[in-house]
Chain A
């Protein structure tokens, strides 16, 4: 684990717990920031670094589980729950909603560090995924409107002849559009282009056999 390229956020209403956790993470070479309430955490300008959130279940303003529900749709770092006395239903719920772990106090150092590591790894993957998608989207944005019309027909598997007929253009013109697309999307092969289109969620609208998919 690298020491400087990630950050751990801590939200616990008990200052003594915050202090102890920060101290422990510092001793393990991890940067951490602690807050006593969700509101303070949200107000903090988070650096664009892989990280995780160690969240207490019982909090004075917004409960930890409630906060987790609010962040589901966001690109939020993974959460590790800590609690004084956890119960099975709330821990199951938390895990199902994507929490990395559900730890009870007093915390075991090993378990805590393992959970933090898992959370940061998961955040790194997510961030990488989000980065690749960003590149592909940037490439997609370079396509002309005609090329964006051609792309779905091509990745749907239509023959050039069929695609040209569909758009009412000559087969030659279609082939020019197609090679431009391959160029702009930096696709090495048609199969590569199909995978890229899939990640960009370009819809497959036609089939070679029955023409337009009535969807």
Chain B
């Protein structure tokens, strides 16, 4: 301290003058509208005052003693009240300021008790006598009665005065009017409250710690007001330092939106001075691209008086822009009017970069998912559709409908819309089972494409689980396998066709076998008849041998006749394979089967089928055999038809109440005998066996149906058959 006496001297003087100025300023009208800076300065000023006194006291005393100024002259120069009080407490001397204040001309016999507020006088008695004893300076504050009778607060500093013998002779004192300060008695508290409210409204967590790392301040709800109140004066400092030290740009604005205060960090970051940034000048450091949006948003917040946040780039002192999160909260008075805006700008540039990188990555993944030639979907653990990729959107021709349906779950709706009605139940069951148990889902079914076409797909899904094993989401892929399935179908159809063709071949074989069965006894009959003739024409005729051969002839003929009845029995045996079939379908199959023959013969086939036919109980294969036989007969009958176009008409319709009638009409050469054609071995065809129609009739009769033929004018034949409708009561 000795090394800097001038600083001390002038510093203290300056401090006191500064304090005076501040007191003056505070008492002015500016104070109520002043912002945080004012309060902070006030806090500094008041501290400076105390410091000034502490420093000033002993120096003053020394000056009086050593320089030897005239006391009165000196006292007059002091910007305050200066007194000399005798040992009895009477005011023996005072300066003009004091007289002006007290308004008393006659100051002789004026006791301290008369001007000091009684409460304060009583309070100071003890400390003063104590000071007398130990020779220390007395410091206190008390109220002095002004000439108008009002009391004002004064700061009192006094030291005991002694003569050369050390006898106490009185007090030298100085009093400074601190009433304005006292009016702002709440000032430390109010200021602190203000700062606190800044901190608490800053939408960020703020903690200060002492060097040992113990938390000594936390904003908002971490600790609460109590701690702050406990050492409000110290805190006041800290808060100011805190605001400046916060690793965040903090600011406050006026209700009109102009900047009022910007913390040190803000200024350091932008490289602007407080003056360069106040009012609306701060917008200069906002990135030109963001400025318009930010200002517009800020104004919308101002008019709505609502908190908000926005991201924008803020120019650093070196001209580099970084992304910041601007957050602002309004502060209201008791009536709800916004009196301040407190805001912070948090540097989010690094986060922004990470976000952007993530976004780019996500975009990339998204593109990947959208471009892979597979249909990708996901649902929530509850089965709510969550995502489908672009390919699937295109496939379905629709996006996920995120609106809640009126009834039923969204999944139900989606399943119903997106797949074949026959498959919905099975898929739903399987999917629900998977959702419930977490089992993998894999299924083949028919999906409904956007254009309404049903296509076979292979759908597989797997759950994504979190660390605890809970299912977070289900991810699935759908692969369109319709083409493969069609190929499979084609193979199957070919196989069906082959097996049916072999069934038809077996009919031919059957016919051959029947022919053989009949031919053998016939051959024996003929040979026997030759032998018989020989025996009879011998000389002499061998009647005995002739008789034997004749008997054999009878026997073998009966055997041949028996074959036909055995055919009938043959078809009756297969009655067990009868099912309910749609005859129109069988007609379609037969047309397909005979397609090549029909085409090669240049025949025009006309089908007139009643779509509403009920099913019949019949052996499908036998019905095919009958129809193939009748169609083939028709085709053969038209081989000689050259003058008109060959036409084959297939028809099906109801026949009375309980039967279905199927008709095959050709425009061929026609039949001379429409009943005889059904006899076994009767044929009009070159190389024909004459068994087809006989077998066909047998088959139909075994089904309780009928088969007959009619000649039609001008040419051709109609073969018709009936089959009873399955009424349900038949066995």
Contact = CB atoms under 8 A, between A and B. Distances in A.
A26 B516 CA distance: 26
Interface in A58-86: 84-85
Nearest to A15: B524
Interface in A15-69: 16-17, 19-21, 23-24, 26-28
B545 A106 contact: no
A23 B522 contact: no
A156 to B, nearest CB: 57
A23 B546 CA distance: 9
A84 B531 contact: no
Given A19-B552, A105-B520, A24 B515 contact: no
Nearest to A13: B520
A49 B531 CA distance: 24
A161 to B, nearest CB: 70
Count class of interface residues, chain A: 10 to 19
Q: Is the interface of B mostly helix, strand, loop or mixed?
A: helix
Contact of A16 (B512, B515, B524, B531): B524
A109 interface: yes
Interface string B160-174: 000000000000000
B606 to A, nearest CB: 38
A72 B159 CA distance: 163
B519 interface: yes
B519 A20 contact: no
B530 interface: yes
Contact of A27 (B516, B520, B538): B538
Contacts of A105: 519-520, 522-523
B552 to A, nearest CB: 6
B524 A26 contact: no
A16 B525 CA distance: 9
Contacts of A16: 520-521, 524, 552, 555-556, 559
Interface residues of B, number: 26
A14 interface: yes
Q: Is the interface of A mostly helix, strand, loop or mixed?
A: helix
Contacts of B531: 20, 23-24, 26-27
A84 B526 contact: no
Interface in B486-533: 512, 515-516, 519-528, 530-531
A19 B9 CA distance: 164
Interface in B90-129: none
B524 A14 contact: yes
A20 B520 CA distance: 11
Given A16-B556, A23-B549, A27-B545, A85 B516 contact: yes
Contact of A84 (B523, B535, B559): B523
A15 B130 CA distance: 162
B548 interface: yes
A85 B516 CA distance: 8
A103 to B, nearest CB: 10
Interface in A78-122: 84-85, 105-107, 109
B375 to A, nearest CB: 59
A19 B530 CA distance: 13
A23 B548 contact: yes
A16 B523 CA distance: 9
B534 interface: yes
Interface string B539-554: 0001001001100100
Interface of B: 512, 515-516, 519-528, 530-531, 534-535, 538, 542, 545, 548-549, 552, 555-556, 559
Which 10 A-B residue pairs are closest in the complex by CB-CB distance?
A: A27-B534, A105-B523, A20-B527, A106-B526, A16-B524, A24-B531, A106-B523, A23-B531, A109-B530, A20-B528
Interface of A: 14, 16-17, 19-21, 23-24, 26-28, 84-85, 105-107, 109
Given A26-B531, A27-B534, A84-B519, 17 more contacts: A14-B524, A16-B552, A16-B555, A19-B524, A23-B527, A23-B531, A23-B549, A23-B552, A24-B528, A26-B545, A27-B538, A84-B516, A106-B519, A106-B525, A106-B526, A106-B527, A109-B527
